[in-house]
Structure 1
Amino acid sequence: MHTRITHILAILLAALSLSCDSYLDLRPENGTVRQEFWQTKEDVQAAVVGIYSAMLNTPPSENDLTLAEYIFMYGELRGGMVAPGAFTSNDQSDIITTNILPSNSITTWSQFYRIINYCNTVIDLAPGVLEIDPTIESSELNNYISEALAIRAYLYFTLARSFKDVPLKLDATLSDGDNFQLPATPQDQIFAQVLTDLNEAERLSVEDYGNVPENKGRITKYAINAMQADVHLWMENYQEAIVAADKVINSGQFELIDASPQWFNIVFAQGNSTESIFELQYTPENRNPFYQIFLQQPQYLAAPPVLEEVFGVDFDDPENKDVRGERASLVPGTNEIYKFTGLNENQRKALQESDTHWFVYRYADVLLMKAEALNELGNGEEAIAIIENLRETREAIDQTQEFVTPEDQDNIRLYILAERAREFAFEGKRWFDVLRNARKNNYENLDILLGVALRSAPASQQQSILAKLRDPNSHYLPINTFELFTNKALTQNPFYN
């Protein structure tokens, strides 16, 4: 097993050292993909490792950001918990203040479509290797295709939550002659395709790779189930969301870790704990981008009210703390975002040790998704039990406890949303959580989103921001000007015309 892991890491390092991988190019030269690659089992394995590599890193030949940075920005900058830092760019600040233009560089989706094309290439071309290389077994091939399908699904899911309607391309770009003029597909159709991909990925999936790093750093059946639960919540398929969540919960593979001085180090600084379902695996050799953007040249801070309003402060007993708050999510006083740079409650990692992972799905996420679905189906009692169990495990303080009855669906919904803010602070989920809840039942709960905007907006801009956010199209990012220029089949989100 150790030899296999070493082999995979060697392939990964080789992929990272190349300035241009022919099998990973978005627009490769005609014939290159089929004729010079896709001949052996090792080629398939290298291509799949290349997908994970692309999720971790920026393209060597382009000035772009990592996938984790985009997901952080899309999921946090409009969520009311992030404030500008000393090194915030104008484009970043404009998104925080809901002053977004199509020229904003953060609205580029090229990194997503680049990785989607890598996934499409594996899905399209890997099956042909079965006829060429007798050493690859069909079950092994299926596992690789499962990973590609699930990652493609997750990327499209993120795009549809961020931009609403986006181009849907399900075949690989293999030739310069391929069609790049693709119209946007409606969000509901994107979600439906995502579920189709995830269901097929589950059928072909792996439950156990035989070691912890791969079980947490590669797509497993349980990562797919977590994604399914998430998508079903967005589609308001609440019974289906519970079924998917229960597959994770009933597996016996995951558990919450009790609060202790070691909790932060185990769950975040080390990663790959029993709470982990899927994490992007940074290492000291392949460090994360967070040390710079949160510490060295901070682009983002925790918004000043977060510590008191989200995690609560016990002024009578300063030692009474939610384990997720002070020196876990943020540093009091400076409002430094700490989750991705800390080693423990008392010290940060050194730059050369900045290997904290990006947390795509954790066990608490699945529990709270189930609670959300239960509440929407009228089972408030069980939903509250899940919330209170999580709060007890995290030593949440009394100041943030809410006393709701099982019949009070609206306030249970808000309680779950507040608990998700505590649990997933700065993990790229806040805006998506707010938007998902606001849009339920044809935007019956728009006040949830408007309330978040009011709490974080400068007083001079509150009325302007509220006016914008009453238009549901404003809840999604604009199509970038460059994309409109290069793809004439696209039509701009009407809010930005």
Structure 2
Amino acid sequence: MKYIHQWSLVLLFGTATACDSLLDIDPEYTQDAENFFNTEEDFNRAIVGVYDMMQPAYLNLWIGEIASDNAIAGGESVNDSRGLHEIENMSHGGVNDELRAVLRVNYTGIARANYLFENQDKIDFDGKDLILAEAKAIRSYFYFNLVTYFGDMPLIVDRRISINEIPNAPRTPKAEIYAQIESDLHEAIAVLPWTVSETGRMTKGATMALLGKTLLYQGKYAEAATLLGELIDTNEAGYALFQDYETLFLVQNENVSEDVFTIQFSGLQGGDYGCLICLNGNAAVGFQSIRQYTGPVYGDGNSYNLPTDDLYQAYEAGDIRRDASILNLEAFIAAQPNPDEITYAIGGGGHTGYFNNKYIKRLDELGLPDDDLTSPLNYRVIRWADVLLMAAEAFQRSGNDERARTELNKVRDRVSLSPVSNSDEALYLAILEERRRELAGEGHRFFDLVRTGQAAEKIDGFVSGKHELFPIPQVEIDLAGGNWEQNPGY
């Protein structure tokens, strides 16, 4: 987190790349609990360690777009992050570095949260209930990621698990995982405040939004409508749509009224390619920027996660969100006063002519010292427009078209588009299309297509009954003694 996430927590927690075990990422006995959790400061350091494991947000951003019809993998070649190219082509299997990273990162975060709960009774102090509520909310986020990607997974709460226990840790049915997520989030909502003094900490609103999303993904539309409607109607945090969509994703407009659940990044500390999850900066930004670019406005990068023409053409005429979300590079160059002086390179991993204009390197937003890895641009996990559209969907699916149109049209009015007057299935489809245009490039598309049953129609190579879930990394199955069955079709 921007406010304190630069603290070193290696002594307490190690790193997520240092161990072959998924369920016990941090080295055993690195920090004896008898010598820790003895002060309020220890608990504060520990919760920062939990927050830190949200930093690899680039994984969700890339996979959520590249697995869908929104983007291709790009990069230097098809061997550059091969796992992303396999995901793009729906040829991914049990050997995939990016999918293994998803598993490892989220279980690392869970282990860190559970370490807090193991020791929650060691001391008492004012504010401990807030720290534990934060830990429950963030643990829910990690479990939500795991169940969304992989379905049934081992559910471990309130304790870490030893490497020796892994072969006996069965995969828990996803319904039980969702039940735990809901329980944790309800308990956190009851404790967390609407606003916080330290930017980046979990709030009541962020936790309600995550619970609403959890309910929506399970098809619990009436419950989701009730909860999200309460969030919208109560709104003691003062959430609102930021009126200038074209500048919403600039660093200068971070932590504004639209930000509900945001992962904070800093550009003030370096990192290296050997541990992308160790960075304080947003790795997605440099990777998604223009390869070997020299020219105004933008910085050079690695041309990952390139939007498709299908996405570019999906916008209505006059929708300002298209150019705010997608950089049409040749059109941009042609509009400059010195187009002949602007150059860039095309990577061998694919080229569409488009770049993600929300998470891209800009010359006046560079981090230090390696601006490929130190972008200060925050990642918005859930913003207010997403809340309104999730509510619109939940209301429509539970029979309240009038309220659904109200929430949908708030999003359209922000960008001066005419209101939608549809009803029934036409309204539902309009809401889903609005999600694509509003949230383009933010990592939601694949999961939206899967949960709404549209993936086979929209994604080339998608096999129903298989690709709704990603495969469990084979190395983790091996580490579990072969007791975890692979997901169907892999």
TM-score (norm 2): 0.81
SS of equivalent residue, structure 1 residue 111: helix
Q: RCO higher in 1 or 2 (8 Å CA, sep ≥ 6)? A: 2
In structure 2, C-alpha distance between the alignment counterparts of 1:330 and 1:145, rounded to whole Å = 42
| Partner residue of 1:412 out of 427, 440, 464 | 427
In structure 2, do the counterparts of structure 1 residues 23 and 81 end up closer, same or farther at CA, with 3 Å as the change threshold? closer
> Could you tell me which residue of structure 1 aligns to residue 135 of structure 2?
148
| Partner residue of 1:339 out of 342, 354, 358 | 358
> Could you tell me which residue of structure 2 aligns to residue 105 of structure 1?
97
In structure 2, do the counterparts of structure 1 residues 290 and 348 end up closer, same or farther at CA, with 3 Å as the change threshold? farther
SS of equivalent residue, structure 1 residue 385: helix
> Could you tell me which residue of structure 1 aligns to residue 378 of structure 2?
357
In structure 2, do the counterparts of structure 1 residues 29 and 349 end up closer, same or farther at CA, with 3 Å as the change threshold? closer
The offset of 1:359, in angstroms, is 0.7
> Could you tell me which residue of structure 1 aligns to residue 60 of structure 2?
71
Amino acid at match of 1:381: E
In structure 2, C-alpha distance between the alignment counterparts of 1:290 and 1:73, rounded to whole Å = 8
| Partner residue of 2:219 out of 218, 233, 236 | 236
In structure 2, C-alpha distance between the alignment counterparts of 1:476 and 1:176, rounded to whole Å = 26
The offset of 1:29, in angstroms, is 3.4
Q: Quick check: 1:127–1:141 contact (8 Å CA) kept in 2?
A: no
The offset of 1:305, in angstroms, is 2.3
The offset of 1:76, in angstroms, is 1.8
- Identical amino acids, percent of aligned pairs: 26
> Could you tell me which residue of structure 2 aligns to residue 50 of structure 1?
49
In structure 2, do the counterparts of structure 1 residues 264 and 42 end up closer, same or farther at CA, with 3 Å as the change threshold? closer
The offset of 1:264, in angstroms, is 4.3
> Could you tell me which residue of structure 2 aligns to residue 462 of structure 1?
none
Q: Quick check: 1:269–1:342 contact (8 Å CA) kept in 2?
A: no
| Partner residue of 2:184 out of 183, 191, 197 | 197
> Could you tell me which residue of structure 2 aligns to residue 478 of structure 1?
471
Amino acid at match of 1:365: D
In structure 1, C-alpha distance between the alignment counterparts of 2:162 and 2:81, rounded to whole Å = 37
Q: Quick check: 2:11–2:30 contact (8 Å CA) kept in 1?
A: no
SS of equivalent residue, structure 1 residue 361: strand
In structure 2, do the counterparts of structure 1 residues 340 and 23 end up closer, same or farther at CA, with 3 Å as the change threshold? closer
> Could you tell me which residue of structure 1 aligns to residue 69 of structure 2?
80
Counterparts of 1:184-263 in structure 2 under 5 Å? Answer: 184-210=171-197, 214=199, 217-249=200-232, 250-252=234-236, 253-259=238-244, 262-263=247-248
| Partner residue of 1:325 out of 322, 327, 332 | 322
In structure 2, C-alpha distance between the alignment counterparts of 1:13 and 1:180, rounded to whole Å = 35
| Partner residue of 2:123 out of 123, 126, 129 | 129
The offset of 1:381, in angstroms, is 2.4
| Partner residue of 1:274 out of 236, 239, 257 | 257
Amino acid at match of 1:160: V
Gaps of 5+ in 1: 57-65, 131-135, 315-319, 439-447, 458-464
In structure 2, C-alpha distance between the alignment counterparts of 1:33 and 1:425, rounded to whole Å = 45
**CA offsets, 1:121-153, max 9 Å, x none?**
1122133222xxxxx22xx11100111111111
SS of equivalent residue, structure 1 residue 127: coil
**Aligned-residue RMSD, C-alpha:** 2.5
> Could you tell me which residue of structure 2 aligns to residue 386 of structure 1?
407
Q: Quick check: 1:225–1:247 contact (8 Å CA) kept in 2?
A: no
Amino acid at match of 1:169: I
SS of equivalent residue, structure 2 residue 288: helix
In structure 1, C-alpha distance between the alignment counterparts of 2:157 and 2:235, rounded to whole Å = 31
In structure 2, C-alpha distance between the alignment counterparts of 1:494 and 1:177, rounded to whole Å = 27
Which structure is higher in helix share? 1
The offset of 1:105, in angstroms, is 1.7
In structure 2, do the counterparts of structure 1 residues 257 and 476 end up closer, same or farther at CA, with 3 Å as the change threshold? same
TM-score (norm 1): 0.79
Q: Quick check: 2:26–2:108 contact (8 Å CA) kept in 1?
A: no
In structure 1, C-alpha distance between the alignment counterparts of 2:468 and 2:115, rounded to whole Å = 32
> Could you tell me which residue of structure 2 aligns to residue 442 of structure 1?
none
Q: Quick check: 1:371–1:382 contact (8 Å CA) kept in 2?
A: yes
Gaps of 5+ in 2: 17-23, 269-279, 290-300, 331-352
In the alignment, structure 1 residue 306 sits paired with structure 2 residue 311: yes
Q: Quick check: 1:150–1:219 contact (8 Å CA) kept in 2?
A: yes
In the alignment, structure 1 residue 367 sits paired with structure 2 residue 388: yes
In the alignment, structure 1 residue 159 sits paired with structure 2 residue 146: yes
Q: Quick check: 1:71–1:428 contact (8 Å CA) kept in 2?
A: yes
SS of equivalent residue, structure 1 residue 13: coil
> Could you tell me which residue of structure 2 aligns to residue 461 of structure 1?
none
Q: Quick check: 1:241–1:373 contact (8 Å CA) kept in 2?
A: yes
In structure 2, C-alpha distance between the alignment counterparts of 1:53 and 1:86, rounded to whole Å = 27
Q: Quick check: 2:75–2:303 contact (8 Å CA) kept in 1?
A: yes
| Partner residue of 2:456 out of 438, 450, 461 | 450
In structure 1, C-alpha distance between the alignment counterparts of 2:245 and 2:192, rounded to whole Å = 35
Q: Quick check: 2:209–2:382 contact (8 Å CA) kept in 1?
A: yes
